[in-house]
Amino acid sequence: QVQLVESGGGLVQPGDSLRLSCAASGVTFTRYSMAWFRQAPGKEREFVAAISQRTGSTPIADSVKGRFTISKDNAKNTVILQMNKLKPEDTAVYYCAASATVIMSQLRAQSGYRHWGQGTQVIVSS
């Protein structure tokens, strides 16, 4: 049974940094592409970043490019979202997603991922 558990969310001020982690179990982690999505209050869930298990490529949403990075620690079965220079508009629930079968053209699509975590709340406010 695949389980994804996010951690690291919290309340921070604009300009601060946060490091989100997603621990995966029940998977052969090296075979999985991983992604982060987020959902702000009253808005639809949107893509943030992904990392392809096949190529290692890391597509990033334009809204966070240059501030957020995604990385994968296969030894720890963990995917990390490093978030720097946070803005109030980054406030959202952040979800981790995993797929062993997502194709490159679908890395940014929610439909490409079969497994999801419960989410971790990030609030950016002064």
pLDDT tens digit sequence for 104-121: 889 999 999 999 999 999
Tokens of 66: 């240059």
Of 63-67, 88-92, 97-101, minimum mean pLDDT range: 97-101
β-sheet with 68-73: strand ranges across? 3-7, 18-25, 78-83, 68-73
Helix, strand, coil percentages in the chain from 3-state DSSP, rounded to 5: 10, 45, 45
The pLDDT of 79-95, averaged and rounded, is 98
Burial of 99 (0-12, 13-18, 19+ CB in 10 A): buried
d(CA 92, CA 64): 13
pLDDT tens digit sequence for 17-73: 999 999 999 988 889 999 999 999 999 999 999 999 989 999 999 999 999 999 999
